[in-house]
Structure 1
């Protein structure tokens, strides 16, 4: 009797922790675990480059407008190769495609290091290499997401999305902070070099994956017909279309990262060579996202996933608006962290909706569109925010964008009410 009483509170504490702390069951799957572990190092490395490119462009030009062009040069390859890369992922061995695309990303990162080390000072060379890097990324991202859906059972997909997002945001937190600390010490070119080395970990993890040919067993070349079939399939999926629309609204109207280099110097007092304020601004959104990911044990119990996405995006918009109104660095970090937490909630459920609703035969193509939306939206925001800030200032660009998010999302819900009422399918856990 005494043993049962003593054990009872212990079991209760464990149940509470399990309902809050991230669900680790997907990590019991060896292939997913290797892929996830490899992202620890590379998540930090990729963020060093994400900071280095806009910083280098701003150093060369002194203009947020040119920094905004980084979004355009990243967006065009995503639009072209994201959808096409998803079609390829549905017709070939996904493991081999990951090897090729990861190798391309590593190669372009090495070229970015070489031009920075040689101090060529050409903004167009930097932007061109960025575009090539993003072309490989656009093929890689939908392929990687489609692979996860093959490795992890359906009922664990929200948990797998939370784990993956947590590791990505881990890098997005510590990468910018490391960049801000390293820039004055080792210089900008070293950031590219670290990213190049870190990408080797991804190649190792992908090499260890099992073969992942199409379930039909037919490996073939992807053509225009495959791309068009993907769009025709999406046209019949109103909930998926709505999920893409609300995320486009959130990112294009609300993502203020193109403003960070200018605000770090002119609003928050960084020295011209870069400093901690720049690192904190880039890290703040991922900090909030990482905290949600670490405490994501509850995500699998939310059935009204459409409502969760809409509420989260409204919180994102209001937090970004608050960021634009403050001149205190630490208050700005708080607002951006709240925005990041809300964005993580939205991302978890949008990914779960997409991976659950799409068939494996169409998963690469739907993930390709997802790549265009998720990665392309912030890049388009870089253009709009950069040029808006050049005209009306950074504070007005950020605040106005955040408030516009809330208005447009409300209009989208009124136009597509099916998304608001969407519920996750009840699935029995696999033992």
Structure 2
């Protein structure tokens, strides 16, 4: 039974259970909005460049306001910060619904609202990431993160399908409206939490606090190695940009096959999440993370070589499972290795690395595929990923040791 999903956090902590349910429902709503924004942008412009601009509208505010949110999370009550930012996201979701139902038809308005919602989410994301470590005992933090990840993977699988049906029948405005309503669940999950101020000496938000956070990360080999592992895995091996080319060159360009590529990753992630009990109970999350990241690279190299669609889908499913295990293990390692007074800023960096890495990885994959072939881009990226992970494992022995929970720092240590 220990191989299965560890559901102890849902049984032992009612506050965590409420947060998890609210987060799962709002994440499904978020997927509805993602599809709606893509569809509306395409209907307004018919331009792939305009569709690509959505990523820019999300990424820039996420990076800028994520750093600010990390500093705020180490300075104020995290519960209140998440409440305010979630309410802001809900208001913007409502404005997206209004502009769709009113037929405003302006790409500038749409992108501005997308950027505004991304900024609100980024401000609250670092504080939200600390909830598992604050609401659960240390031996259940990994299980809590696995539950959050499972909810995300399920939403990735079912959300777009629901959005497609809803947008076709009722228009994109209905997707935005449902997204707005799901934020009520997220608010309910947070509003009943106790106050969650940072443990120890609170930090004054500002540039100095952000710099101190980066200095703390660089001075901790476990944290620096964990983030470097994520960068290597995503920048060198991210395969999404290669899917259309591989599908066209090997499998006849069938849109259904292209969709299955994405679904295979999600299915692998869900299966890994449901069978994550052993992983979340491991006392060596760093070692688990390194092994999983290496498997991710091997699986994607095999995808680049796979001669049949079924073998390619199997490789992607393995990659999705490995990615989920790596994300869960890295999240637990980072939260446990970080004193609470730094958790907001460290979580902000984790968010930024997790967001920027895939964008850069897809850009790298496209450049290499353009100069060579999509297959070579996938195989070379996967093998370089394995090599990079091996170097991190050899040069950062702290990642291979049992994880130790960080002790609170004194005021002098945090200055």
Q: What TM-score does the superposition give when structure 1 sets the normalisation length?
A: 0.81
Which residue is 1:20 aligned to?
Answer: 3
SS in 1 for 2:277: coil
Aligned Cα root-mean-square deviation (Å): 3.3
Unaligned segments of structure 2, at least 5 residues: 407-415
Report the Cα distance in structure 2 between the residues aligned to 1:335 and 1:181, rounded to whole angstroms.
29
Task: State which drifts further: 305-314 or 340-349.
Answer: 305-314
Residue 136 of structure 1: how far off its partner (Å): 1.7
Report the Cα distance in structure 1 between the residues aligned to 2:51 and 2:377, rounded to whole angstroms.
15
5 Å-filtered alignment, 1:279-290, equals 280-290=260-270
Q: 1:74 to 1:408 in 2, by over 3 A?
A: farther
CA contact (8 A) 2:93 2:179 kept: yes
Report the Cα distance in structure 2 between the residues aligned to 1:86 and 1:136, rounded to whole angstroms.
13
Residue 326 of structure 1: how far off its partner (Å): 5.7
SS in 2 for 1:92: coil
Residue 118 of structure 1: how far off its partner (Å): 5.2
Residue 243 of structure 1: how far off its partner (Å): 0.5
Question: For 1:217-263, what per-residue CA distance to the aligned partner results, in whole angstroms no more than 9, with x for missing partners?
Answer: 86x75222221221221121011001001101222333334566888
Q: 1:37 to 1:300 in 2, by over 3 A?
A: same
Question: For 1:252-286, what per-residue CA distance to the aligned partner results, in whole angstroms no more than 9, with x for missing partners?
Answer: 3333345668888996433xxxxx66654443322
CA contact (8 A) 1:67 1:386 kept: no
Q: What TM-score does the superposition give when structure 2 sets the normalisation length?
A: 0.84
Task: State which drifts further: 202-211 or 292-301.
Answer: 292-301
5 Å-filtered alignment, 1:323-362, equals 323-324=303-304, 331-362=311-342
Report the Cα distance in structure 1 between the residues aligned to 2:109 and 2:335, rounded to whole angstroms.
37
CA contact (8 A) 1:74 1:379 kept: no
Residue 51 of structure 1: how far off its partner (Å): 3.5
Which residue is 1:146 aligned to?
Answer: 130
Task: State which drifts further: 120-129 or 82-91.
Answer: 120-129
Q: 1:283 to 1:210 in 2, by over 3 A?
A: farther
SS in 1 for 2:75: coil
Task: State which drifts further: 401-410 or 352-361.
Answer: 401-410
Which residue is 2:401 aligned to?
Answer: 422
Give the number of aligned pairs. 403
Q: 1:69 to 1:388 in 2, by over 3 A?
A: farther
Report the Cα distance in structure 2 between the residues aligned to 1:122 and 1:76, rounded to whole angstroms.
20
CA contact (8 A) 1:64 1:259 kept: no
5 Å-filtered alignment, 1:28-427, equals 28-57=12-41, 67-117=51-101, 122-216=106-200, 222-257=205-240, 268-270=253-255, 280-324=260-304, 331-385=311-365, 398=378, 400-414=380-394, 416-425=395-404
Q: 1:259 to 1:135 in 2, by over 3 A?
A: farther
Residue 395 of structure 1: how far off its partner (Å): 5.7
